[in-house]
Amino acid sequence: MIAEPCHPSEIRMPTPPSATPRPHPLHVLRTTAFAIGALLILVGVGVLLHQPLLIPPLAASAALVHGAPGLPISQPRNLLGGQLLSAAIGFGTLAAMGSNGWAAAVAAGLSLGAMMLTHLSHSPAAATAVIVVLQAPHPQTFLPLLALGTALLVAIGLLPGRVGAHPVRYPLSW
């Protein structure tokens, strides 16, 4: 028995997965306020130290800590470990290949692989490797500032779940 072709109106398409529900506006407001506060603290501490502490990868890290605190890439181990590992890879790549776009691309890719192998995945950290290669900062200044900035982001990330009605208590793991 051969099946007859069905009419196009009889073809059923799979139902797409439901979209993530929109967060409550007050949750968005709290999250936004805490993220802005965290970034302003980085700026303020940087001003006190006469060193830039707010760099683009840390802004992206703050977005993850406050906007997606339950994701593995947002957890303190990944945040701090991924940032420092990627910076170290950036410095190694800078020493081996110099400061240029080619080397920056290699550093970002190597950072991704190293983070995956060490279970320290934190996507904004790949950009830290790029900054290290393209800006060539002094490691003795850059690394402690990077560690301080990430530690501050973790510390500030603890607040929303303790002072506000945040649905996810950060961190889920250390």
Question: Mind listing the pLDDT tens digit for each residue in 77-119?
Answer: 999 999 999 999 999 999 999 999 999 999 999 999 999 999 9
Give the position of tokens 């993530």: 20
Would you state the structure tokens that stand for residue 57, as one six-digit string?
A: 């990868």
Nearest of 56, 83, 91 to residue 151 by alpha carbon: 83
Would you state the structure tokens that stand for residue 164, as one six-digit string?
A: 């506000």
Quick one: angle between helices 76-97 and 101-118, nearest 10?
Answer: 140
Which of 55-59, 118-122, 143-147, 165-169 is predicted least confidently?
165-169
CA distance 16 to 140: 51
Confidence band (pLDDT; 50, 70, 90) for 27? Answer: confident
CA distance 157 to 80: 13
Mean per-residue pLDDT, 158-162: 80
Global confidence as pTM: 0.84
Nearest of 124, 136, 46, 42 to residue 85 by alpha carbon: 124
